Every structure is written in structure tokens, then in C-alpha cells.
Structure 1
Amino acid sequence: MRHLPRYSENKKKDKAKVTMAQAFKTIIWPRRNLVFIGLILIVIRSLAGLVLPWQSKVLLDRVVPSKDMTQVYTLVAIVLSAILIQAVTSFSLTRILSVQAQYLISELRAQVQKKVLSLPISFFDNTKSGALVSRIMTDVEGVRNLIGTGLVQLVGGSFTAIVSLIILIKLNPWMTLFVFVPLSIFGYIALRAFKYIRPIFRTRGKINSEVTGRLTETLAGVRVIKAFNAEAQENEVFEKGVNKLYQNVKKSLTATAFMTSSSTFLIGVATTGIMGIGGYYMMQSEMTTGDFLFFTLILGFMIAPIVQMSNIGSQLTEALAGLDRTEELMNMAAEADDMERDIELDNLKGDIEFDDVSFAYEEGKEVLHNISFNAPAGSVTALVGSSGSGKSTIAGLSATFLNPKSGKITIDDKDLSKIKLTSYRKYLGVVLQDEFLFEGTIKENIMFPRPNASENELQYAVKAAYVNEFTDRFEDGLETLIGERGVKLSGGQRQRLAIARAILANPKIIILDEATSNLDTESEALIQKSLGELVKDRTTIVIAHRLSTIRKADQILVIEAGYIVERGTHDVLIAKKGRYFDLYTYQAKI
């Protein structure tokens, strides 16, 4: 990823605004050799384009009066050669710069995706996945106008316009001055329009990501939508989104239409004036017919790039607006950017200790209060309590998905907030209540944490989690496609697959969040056997509503309203006849 924009990593939340100078420094300058070649090609193309009007003047003023056919043949050969040069340079421009622009887009997308995956879990909790897809795939597309033919055409068009202007001044300075006035007015209008359009393009990117995010959610939750007969409701939400997008596009179209209409009117005024002034000069014999035709054609060469530059200017404005939004992402602090995390774990026993830990998702609203407990290496610690009591928050803190507001968490007596995340998470395994499975085969999902695992290791994980109990009945076995998020499997089958994945990962620390909640009685019995294998000699934190599954836990913590209200083994807590006893006896009655 050399030569991609190098953005400063900071926590500023101010809206980023990429200047053309920044874009030049980070995107264009590293590719200066290609851009220079492009400029040479476009200069050659522009000069070759001037041959036709020049030879037209020669034809009318010299060749036709002399009736010399040899000169006609020579003139035709010169014009054809110029046209061939134009064609070759145009092809080369597209081949060199447009292809390079697409390569840059692919690299930049990869860089942004890498950045997004480096962000903390809290970022994803507050951002729609569909919106992120739009920002990764769409926002960077405008870059093609910076390194592709757009910018080169802007520079090349400027060169053509300047050369044409010099020729026009030499032909007739007064006619040129008459043309220059309306063109200057158009230039002022265009600059004002670009300043107005840029925030519109920026807002469009935001709206587009919101609409894409909602659409992604709708397609993912189509079963829920149909089950609740909510198609009309979702249609209305989407229609509002696309209408908002339409209103934004309408604003930009109005601005560009105003520019186009202004150019048409002002250029029309200039052309009309040229007809009158040119007619006067020809009647006064101060200008030949060839001179007038030459002036008119060269005028076209000067005006065309200016009008084209207004379109290219819109494209560059859109590109910079996309880069604004991209830079916002690139400026966010990644998990690994925490300079205090400098401890590298070479080995791990798995002793976890919470020391007076408190946590709040929002300022002033604590969900955990002064939590303290020790989970020795190889032990099983169960978290029980009513929904919303803080069990999953404790698990999230243990997995380093969250960071304590106060207090300290240690692993093997080392402060977890000082340990490099990658060195800790390589020892971590997580099985969630609603486990995420990737579209693909059963085998691919099990091998996700260790793609290079051996066949023996794979088979061990499959048998330990009793995945073979159902894959043996499938025609394609482990190569069976499971559909998006594993929709072709039952809840129990998905859960066993997730446990097999965790077994294959061979972690030192296991976090089980409602790992048996989606299972029928038969599947639960099988899973309990596989979990026994999974937690063996590993530090395990279990969250469970089914209290029957944690009777053998080394310690049980009863969490209520963010506090540990009871702790002990199953037998000790039953004997206390407190909160755990109430929960257990209530479930037993059910």
C-alpha cells in the first residue's frame, strides 16, 4: 500500500476536508511518472488537434486559389497523420491512466477495509454494516478522476485553451477580447458552483450509505419482515431514503444545469458577436475567409476544453467529497493504536482477575459497579442473572471488546489494558448465543480460525462437537453449503458448528455466551459432552440461562443490576437459599 494517502491517526471528530493540495501530495505526486506521461500524451493530442483548423486555412487561402492538387494530397496526408496521432494518444491515455486509476481504487478500498476492521467493537455497535459497505466501495471511486484521465484532461485542456488563446490574439486581438469577457463570466460562475456543490456531494455519500445500510438490513431480515407482514412498512422507509437521495441529486443537477445553461448562453453570445465582427473585418478586407474559418475553429478548441473543464471540475469536486468521508474513517483511532498497550504475551496460563471494575456505555450510566472476582487458569466461572444485569458486559470486558471505566483486569498478573490485543486474542475463543456463520461450506466455517489446520485436527473438532452426527446424513458431508448466516442449518446444528470452530482454534481462554440456549434436549446433551472437552484445562467464562448446564462450574457469580450479589459453587449457593436458589428452583418447576 505504498503511494496511498497517509492519513494522520487521531481522535478528532471535526469533519475532514481534503484539499486539492493534499490530494496532489498523497495521490498524484507518488504517481508523477504516469501523470507526466499522460500530460505529454495529451499535449501531443492537443497539438495534433490544431492541425485540422490550420490546414483548413491553408486550403482556403493558398491551395484552392493555386489549384495545385499536389498540395491537396500533401494537406490530406498531414491531416490524416494528425488524426492518427490523436487516436493513438487517446487510446494510450485511457490504457495507462484509467487502468492505473482502477488499480488505485482497488488498493484504496483494501486500505479502508483494513482500517475499518482495525476499529474497536464500539464503532460497529453504532454504525450500520451496509453504510460501511457503501463507504468502502463507493466513496473511493471518485479517485479515478484524480489519477485517471479527468485531472490530466483538466491540465491538458488548460494547455489547449492557453495555446488557442495565444493564436487567437495573434489572429485578431479585438475579436479575442470580445470572446474573453463572456468566458471570464462563465469561469466565475463555475467556481462559485463548485463551492456550492461539494457539500452536496458529501451529504450524498452519507445519505447513500444510510439507504444502503437500511437495504442491507432489510434483505438480511427478510424472514422477520415477512413473518410480521411488514413489507409495506419497509417499502415506505426505503422510499423515504431514496427520495432524500433524489432531493440531494436534484440540488446538484440544478447547479450543474445552471453552469451548462450559462455556458450555452455566454458562448452563444460570443459566437454571435464573432459572426458580426468577423463579417465586418472580411468586408473591410482586413481578414481573409481562411483567417475567419481558422479563428472560428481555434475558438472552438479554446471553448471546448473550458466547457469540458466545468464537467471535470464537478467530477473532481465529487472525488474530493468522497475523500473527505474516507479520511474521516482513516483518522479514527484503531484498537492497536493505543500506545499504552506494549506488553507482548509469549505464553499464557489463563489466570483472569477483575479488581473493582466498573463500566458504562454512556457517560453517567454505569452498567457494572465495582466487580471483583478471580478466575484461575483452567477453571470454569459461570455468570447467571436476569437479562440486562451485566453478564455479557463482563464477557465483553474479558474478551477485550470493551475497556473498563475504572478498576483493573489482569491476565496472569499483567494489566490487560497494557497488553497488545493481537497477542492476547490469539489465545482467546468465543462462542456466542447467536453465532455468526459465513456463507460457504461447513468445513470452511469450522476451519475459519485455522485455515491451515490438518485433516486430523479438523476431524477431531468435528467429532468432539458432534458435528458429524448431522453431517454424516448430508450428501456432501462437510462440503455442504449452509447459505447466508447458516440459514440451511437448525439452531442446534449452527451452535455445534460454532463449538467445533472454537475447539479447532485451541484457545487458552473460552467465553461461552448462552452456548446451549438454542439447543433441543437431545442436542444439549451432545453439546454438554463436547463442552466438557472444550473447557478442559482452559479458563472458561460461561453465561447461561439454563442453570442445569453449569452445576459443575468451579464458581458461579450471580449478577443483578451490575453487581455481584452472590458467589460460590452450585451446592453452596443452593444451601444459601438466596437469589440463585430462587432462579434454580423456578427453572426446575418449569
Structure 2
Amino acid sequence: MSKNKNVTFAWAVKNIIWPRRKTIFIGLLLIIVTRPAGLVLPWATRYLIDDVAANGDLELLKWLLLAIVTALTVQAVGSFLLTRILSVEAQYLISELRVKVQKKVLSLPISFFDNTKSGELVSRIMTDVEGVRNLVGTGLVQLVGGILTSAISIFFLIQMNPYMTALTLIPVSIFGIIALKAFGKIRPIFRERGKINAEVTGRLTETLNGVRVIKGFNAEASENKTFEQGAVKLYENIKSSLTATAFVSSMGTFLIGLASAGVLGMGVYYIVQGEMKAGELLSFISFLGFMIAPILQMSNIGSQLTEAFAGLDRSEEIMKMDPEDQTSQRPIVLDKIQGDMEFHDVSFAYEEGKEVLHDINFKAPPGSVTALVGSSGSGKSTTASLAASFLTPQKGLITIDGHDLSKVNLESYRKHLGVVLQDDFLFEGTIRENVIFPRPNATEDEIQAAVKGAYVDEFTDRFEDGLETLIGERGVKLSGGQQQRISIARALLANPKIIILDEATSNLDTESEMYIQKSLNMLMKDRTTFVIAHRLSTIRQADQILVIEDGEIVERGTHDELIANEGRYFDLYTYQNRI
């Protein structure tokens, strides 16, 4: 555990505190000015009572009041500037870290997203970094300021009465040891809280996205129960941390209360003995308060810093993950591509020891259409994902224009790639915004060509707002066929050299399929295309058809050749035609 803490602290100093050293230095200067100014009042109390009140020294009263007012002014202005400068910087840092973590998350491979809930990632990006406000904001500086105030107060206390000071420091030291031990125990609780919060947020996100399924199956009660279990688990975690911090706080109050009682007793004894004046005792008690208050405040700040480091632990885990497009491992940059792709003895497994593809071999020449057919779960989509570079084979080699795809810079490859996935994803906004997604700076002529090529205009011309029509979250205001055509228009506008069509016609009615089949023929022209389709009538013109079953290519050829062979493809085709 200690090693993990050291790593996080070093990372925080290097990446968060040191780059903002000027701002933090200004904050420390303000603390150095304001905290001593706050001690002027207890310092002046002794002279107000023992000299001004006892001897009627009004001249001294004038100077003391001037000193007090000046100190209060310095303290007020300094506190305002401290909060204004550091709090604003802290919020900027939070924004900056969110951007960095989000950028890092998007750089991770597809497999990471397959194993992580989107809601959990939202929590990591938005919530985990919030604690850093206590590192750059007033928290860390106030911690330093508290130490400074306590140190100055102890100096004055020792000067006034070392025996009473020693009596005070014993319980304060005991409290410090308890606090350090407690915060070591609390940190794992805060880490676990972040994990639980991410799980609950993830489930809630899924619930809201799947509300139609939930209502359709009358499953509201079940979802409510699941969320309630997560909320209770989060509550139990918070209860544990509150119990620990409450124990620290109560122990501090008890021990420091004992110290205060002892000081009062000794002080009164010294006054009776004539060894201390009333003003000195009152001044001592005031300095004692200034020493103790920061220590109690530091317990609260310590809890905040512990929570901050727990969140940073989780952010650091993300930032240390390897991105999918590493320059050292993918040094080949493609300026242009022909689209000549080959699979050489390619095998792939999502889980070790459980291959879903076995020794796949085929060539997809430039401008050719390769259709992948087979029963559900046979490996068609996995093959297409490998061609799209979403996955990397464990064995074998995939080449693009003779280059090993696993060594090709992904950005340089994917700018020549267009995809229309089985589960089309449309962003909330207008139809136009979704069409221009791959090329926001496309000209109006290019946009219109893509819209017409995918027959999007066939239905947008009937909409009052045309391409500016709002489609709702995930395009819920459109039919499946309309969503599919927008996705194909998006691919057309990207003008790729390689196209992956995964069930591209799966959501289309007969009329829409007719429109799309025409546009697909144009889209496929002079482009290397991979088509996955259960509706075999849509791939009759493919240059080659690969029949995949149980992760192996069991047949290959053109439509006419495979029909003549009367093998697996013949069975699938004739079965669909009977239906």
C-alpha cells in the first residue's frame, strides 16, 4: 500500500503540482502574509488587558487598534485573493484532466471498451479527477498554512510558558498519530467508493439507454431493485468513511479538550501564585486556539487529500494503459493505399485458449467485394473487425498493400476506412451533423452527393427541416431503414478506400433495400469492400464469397460457383429463398 501511495504522490507532484508551481507559490506567499496577520489579535490581547486596561495607556491603545485593523484588512484581502487564484486554477485543472483522461480513454483498444461499462468510464472521467482541487486549490495551501500558523503559535506559547505548552503538545501529538493511522485506513475505502460509484453509474446509464426494453418486458421493479442494491452498497462505503473521519474528529475534540482544561487549571494556578497576569493567560489561550484550530482543520483537509489521491490512483490507472496506436510498435505510416488486403493463417481468440477463428487465408484485391456469410457466431464479424484493425490477430498476418497491418499507424490507415456497423450509432443532433461526422469541413456539394448516393434525400425531402431535422438520442425519431441510410451516407462522405459493411441492409424494408442496393453498388466501386449479410440476396454480385463456420472458411467462390457446388452456401441460400 505504501508503495502505491508513493507512486501516486510522485505522479501528483510531477504532473499536477510542479507545472503549477508559480500559482501555488503565490498562494503560499499569501498564506505566509495572512496567517501571521491573523495572530496579531491574540498578540495584542495581552497588552490591551495588562497595559491599556490596567494602566490607562490610550496612546498604546491607538497603535494596537491600528495594528489590529491593518492585520484584519491584510487577512481579508489575502484570503479573497487566495481563494480566487487557487480555486479558479483548481477548476481549470479539473477541466484539463478530464480532457486528458477522455483523450486517453479514446486511445485505448476496442477490447477495453468491450470489458468496461460506458457509465463507469463517465464516472472515471467526470468524478475521479474532482479531488485534485484539494491539491492545487486551497486544500494543500491551507494545509501548509495550518502548519505555519501552528508553528508560529507554538513559538509564542513556549515564550510565554513552556510548561503549559508541553502539557498541550502531548495530547496534540497523540491526536496526530491517530489521524495519520486513520487516513491510511480511509484511503482504500475512498478507492472502493470510486469503483462502486462507477458501477452504479454504469448500471444507471444502461437502464436509461434500455428504457424501452425495460418497459416492454415490464421489468421496472427488477431494475429498481438492482439500482437500490448498488445505492445501498455505496451508502455502506460512505458510512465506513464517515465513521472513520468522525472517530478522528471526536478524538481530536476529546484530546484537545483535555489539553485546554489542563491549560486553564495551570493558568489559574499561576495567576493565584502571582506568576502570570490575566492578560497573559487570555493571550496564551488565544494563541492556543490558533494552534489547535489548524490542527483540527488539517484532519478535515487530510480527509480531502486522501480522497483526492484515491481518485488520482484510479485516473493514474487509466493514464498508464497502453494505447492501441503506439508509434514504437506501429511505425509504418500510409499516405495512400490501394486496398490490397490479405489474411495469412490468421487465428484470433477473445479469451486465451478459446479461438474463434482458425488459420483464415484469403486475398481481397483492390476494388474487390468480399462477402462473409455463415451462421450466427461463426466468426464473420470478428473477421471484419480484424480487417478494420479493431482487433489484432494472435497468430498469422494481415497485410495491407504488402504491409503488416499490426505495424501500420492506425490513424494513417483508418482515414482510408469506412464502416457501417450492424448496430448503427447516430449521435444526438441533426441529420446533417451525423452525415458530416467523418468530414466536418466537407463542401455542400460533397454532402449532397453523399445524401443522394445513400437516398437520404428520399425521406429528408419530406421533413419540414430537411437535413436540419433533429433525430433524438441514438436517432430514435427515425426508422431503422432511415438510420441505416444515414450511416451509409456518412461512409460515402468519408470517401474511403476500404469499406466494412456489417449487416448494412439488416434494418431495411424492401423499398429501402432497393434504394440502398443501388447506392451500395456505387459505394463499392473501386473500393475494397467487406460485406457481412444474412440476407444472401444482397451479395450475389460479390467477387468472392467466403462461407465461415466455426471459425473456418469451409467454402469460397462466386455466387454461381457456390450454388453449383451445392454445399453449405447452397443450403443457406435455398433455405432463405423458401422462407
Give me the TM-score of the superposition, normalised by structure 1.
Answer: 0.96
Is residue 368 of structure 2 the alignment partner of residue 379 of structure 1?
A: yes
Give the C-alpha shift of residue 448 in structure 1: 0.3
1:86 to 75, 80, 85: 75
Which residue among 543, 555, 561 is the counterpart of 1:572?
561
Equivalences for residues 383-422 of structure 1 within 5 A: 383-422=372-411
Kindly indicate whether the alpha-carbon contact (under 8 Å) linking 1:342 and 1:418 is maintained by their aligned counterparts in 2.
yes
Q: What is the deviation of 1:300?
A: 0.2
Is the counterpart of residue 334 in structure 1 residue 323 in structure 2?
A: yes
Q: Does structure 2 retain, via aligned residues, the 8 Å contact 1:49–1:83?
A: yes
Q: Distance in 1 between matches of 2:4 and 2:324?
A: 21
Instruction: Give 1:206 deviation, angstroms.
Output: 0.6
Distance 2:281 2:237 in 1: 45
Name the aligned partner's letter for residue 146 of structure 1.
L
CA contact (8 A) 1:18 1:324 kept: no
Identity of aligned residues (%): 71
Mapped to 2, the partners of 1:20 and 1:292 lie a distance apart of 42
Find the aligned partners of 1:206 and 1:449 in 2 and give their Cα distance. 34
Pairwise CA distance, 1:67: 2.2
- Per-residue CA deviations over 1:63-110 (Å, capped at 9, x if unaligned) read 112324444343323212211111100000011111111111111111
Partner of 1:34: 23
1:511 matched to 2:468? The reply is: no
| Partner residue of 2:255 out of 258, 266, 271 | 266
Q: Which residue of 2 aligns with 1:133?
A: 122
| TM alignment of 1:150-161, pairs within 5 A | 150-161=139-150
Alignment correspondent of 1:309: 298
Deviation at 1:338, TM superposition (A): 5.8
Shift of 1:16: 8.2
* SS class of match (1:335): coil
Task: Indicate the larger mover: 61-70 or 526-535.
Answer: 61-70
Q: Distance in 1 between matches of 2:441 and 2:74?
A: 54
CA gap 1:438/1:453 in 2 versus in 1, 3 angstroms: same
For residues 195 and 548 of structure 1, the distance between their equivalents in structure 2, rounded to whole angstroms, comes to 66
1:48 to 32, 37, 46: 37
Residues 309-343 of structure 1 deviation map (CA, whole Å, 9 limit, x = unaligned): 11111111111111111111111110112623111
> Match of 1:340, SS?
coil
Q: Indicate yes or no: 2:231 matched with 1:239.
A: no
Q: In the TM superposition, what whole-angstrom CA distance separates every residue of 1:167-196 from its partner, at most 9, and x where no partner exists?
A: 001100110111111101100100000100
Match of 1:300 among 289, 306, 317: 289
Separation in structure 1 between the aligned mates of residue 8 and residue 492 of structure 2, nearest angstrom: 51
Residue 584 of structure 1 aligns to a residue whose secondary structure is helix
Match of 1:103 in 2: 92
Amino acid at match of 1:88: V
* 2:42–2:283 Cα contact (<8 Å) kept: yes
Q: Give the match for residue 166 of structure 1.
A: 155
CA contact (8 A) 1:357 1:407 kept: yes
Query: Letter of the aligned partner of 1:126 in structure 2?
Result: N
| Residue aligning to 1:6 | none
SS of the residue 1:336 aligns to: coil
1:180 counterpart (165, 169, 184) = 169
Contact 1:384/1:544 (CA < 8 Å) preserved in 2?
Answer: yes
User: Which amino acid counterpart does residue 144 of structure 1 have in structure 2?
Assistant: R
Unmatched tracts of structure 2, length 5 or more: none
Question: Is 1:206 matched with 2:206?
Answer: no
Partners in 2 of 1:21 and 1:481 — Cα distance?
Answer: 48
Aligned to 1:465: 454
Q: What do residues 351-400 of structure 1 show as CA deviations (whole Å, max 9, x unaligned)?
A: 11111111111111111111111111101110000000000000000000
| Closer, same or farther: CA 278–248 of 1 in aligned 2, 3 Å | same
Selected match of 2:271 from 277, 282, 300: 282
* DSSP 3-state at the match of 2:325: helix
- One-letter amino acid of the counterpart of residue 461, structure 1: A
Of 65, 70, 75, 1:76 maps to 65
**2:426 is the counterpart of 1:437:** yes
Which residue of 2 is the match for residue 63 of structure 1?
Answer: 52
For residue 367 of structure 1, the aligned residue among 331, 352, 356 is: 356
Which secondary structure does the structure 2 equivalent of 1:102 belong to?
helix
More displaced stretch, 77-86 vs 462-471: 77-86
Distance 1:432 1:579 in 2: 25
Shift of 1:22: 3.5
Is the CA contact 1:17–1:324 (under 8 Å) kept in the aligned structure 2? no
**How far, CA to CA, are the matches of 1:64 and 1:220 in structure 2?**
73
Are 1:16 and 1:327, in contact at CA under 8 Å, matched by a contact in 2?
Answer: no
Matched, 1:123 2:112: yes
Give the whole-Å Cα distance in 1 for the aligned partners of 2:125 and 2:330.
28
User: How far is 1:15 from its partner?
Assistant: 7.2
The 8 Å contact of residues 545 and 559 in structure 2, kept in 1 or not, is answered as yes
Which amino acid is the alignment partner of residue 538 of structure 1? Answer: R
Partners of 1:377 and 1:539 within 8 A in 2? yes
Matched, 1:545 2:534: yes
Quick check: 1:100–1:147 contact (8 Å CA) kept in 2?
A: yes
Deviations 1:127-157 (A, max 9, x none): 0011001001111111111111100011111
After TM superposition, the structure 1 stretch with the greater mean CA deviation from structure 2, 114-123 or 38-47, is 38-47
Counterpart residue type for residue 124 of structure 1: F
Q: What's the offset of the Cα at 1:26?
A: 2.6
The 4+ residue runs of structure 1 with deviation greater than 4 A are 14-17
CA deviations on 1:534-557 (whole Å, 9 max, x unpaired) are: 111100000000000011111111
For 1:534, the equivalent position in structure 2 comes to 523
User: Quick one: structure 1 residues 546 and 17, their matched pair in 2 at CA, closer, same or farther if it must change by over 3 Å?
Assistant: farther
For structure 1, list consecutive stretches of 5 or more residues without a partner in the other structure. 1-13
State how far apart, in whole Å, the 1-side matches of 2:457 and 2:354 are: 46
Deviations 1:453-506 (A, max 9, x none): 000000000011010111111111100111000000000000000000000000
Contact 1:449–1:505 (CA<8 Å) still a contact in 2?
Answer: yes
Query: Offset of 1:33 from its aligned partner?
Result: 1.5
Change (3 A) 1:16 1:476: farther
CA shift for structure 1 position 19: 3.7
Report Cα offsets for 1:399-423 as digits up to 9, x if no partner: 0000111111111111111111111
Alignment partner of 1:205: what SS? helix
> Quick one: which amino acid aligns to residue 49 of structure 2?
L
Number of residue pairs the alignment of both structures matches: 577
Q: Which shows bigger deviation, 350-359 or 23-32?
A: 23-32
TM-score (norm 2): 0.98
Preserved CA contact (<8 Å) 1:18 1:320: no
**1:384–1:557 contact (8 Å) kept in structure 2:** yes
State the match for 1:489 in structure 2.
478
Alpha-carbon offset, residue 245 of structure 1:
0.7
Does the CA-based 8 Å contact 2:51-2:57 persist in structure 1? no
Indicate the RMSD between aligned Cα atoms, in angstroms: 1.2
Spell out, residue by residue over 1:206-240, the C-alpha distance to the aligned partner (whole angstroms, 9 max, x if none).
11111111111110111111001111111111111
